[in-house]
């Protein structure tokens, strides 16, 4: 009885790890757009919006009636103009935290995804917009201390200028994720960079 319970727990862990694995999403022009999870990538392929470019080894997703080879890299069928969407996508919480190096921009404390908050540098109650240039990572204590004031009024200077960090936030995250996924390297032009450095 215990062996069955142990194997079912391992099966569940395998399923959850498979579902949380990441897939590189390419534009129709093979330009890297971002990273999506496995279920999202399978949905895109299933409905004909994307095609599989690289498989994730021998991994498969199983449903009651189907077996899907698990993708590692997918490419959209139709080209998406990324330039028009850049301003809107740069306000995502995880991208702001990654841009700031998972560090509070007031005291320098490092934290994880759940240890930090996103702070409006100029409070939204005073007309501060929700754009990347006005957002920064902050620990709970600093965010509470700053409150509804500007950094100057709270005497809490920023450690770095967020406006200077907004360009290429997506590109900053992808090479880090590609360290464990060698099949992504050619789509992120990382092989060329190593040849230039060597």
**117-176, pLDDT tens digit by residue?**
999 999 999 999 988 889 999 999 999 999 999 999 999 999 988 864 444 555 666 777
Q: Give the range of the structural domain holding residue 154, as residue numbers without chain letter.
A: 89-165
Q: What is the mean pLDDT of residues 67-95?
A: 79
Looking at the structure, tell me whether residues 119 and 57 fall in a common domain: no
For 51, phi then psi, to 5°, come to -130, 150
Count of structural domains within the chain: 2
Looking at the structure, tell me whether residues 129 and 69 fall in a common domain: no
pTM score above 0.85: no
CB 56 within 8 A of CB 50: no
The CB-side HSE value for 9 (13 A sphere, CA atoms) comes to 6
Measured distance CA(187)–CA(190) in Å, rounded = 8
For 22, phi then psi, to 5°, come to -100, 150
Looking at the structure, tell me whether residues 102 and 51 fall in a common domain: no
Beta bridge partners of residue 67, listed in sequence order = 62
Looking at the structure, tell me whether residues 48 and 102 fall in a common domain: no
pLDDT above 60 for 3: no
């Amino acid at each position: 009885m215990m062996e069955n319970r142990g194997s079912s727990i391992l099966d569940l862990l395998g399923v959850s790890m498979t579902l949380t694995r990441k897939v590189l999403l390419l534009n129709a022009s093979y330009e890297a757009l971002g990273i999506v999870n496995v279920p999202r990538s399978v949905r895109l392929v299933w409905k004909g919006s994307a095609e599989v470019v690289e498989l994730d080894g021998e991994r498969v997703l199983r449903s009651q009636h189907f077996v899907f080879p698990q993708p590692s890299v997918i490419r959209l069928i139709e080209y998406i103009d990324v330039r028009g969407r850049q301003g809107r996508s740069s306000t995502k919480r995880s991208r702001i935290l990654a841009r700031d190096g998972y560090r509070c921009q007031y005291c320098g404390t490092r934290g994880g995804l759940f240890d930090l908050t996103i702070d409006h540098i100029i409070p939204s109650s005073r007309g501060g917009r929700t754009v990347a240039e006005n957002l920064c990572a902050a620990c709970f204590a600093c965010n509470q201390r700053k409150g509804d004031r500007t950094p100057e009024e709270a005497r809490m200077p920023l450690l770095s200028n967020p406006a200077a960090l907004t360009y290429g936030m997506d590109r900053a995250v992808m090479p880090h994720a590609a360290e464990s996924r060698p099949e992504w390297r050619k789509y992120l032009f990382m092989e060329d960079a190593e040849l230039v450095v060597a």
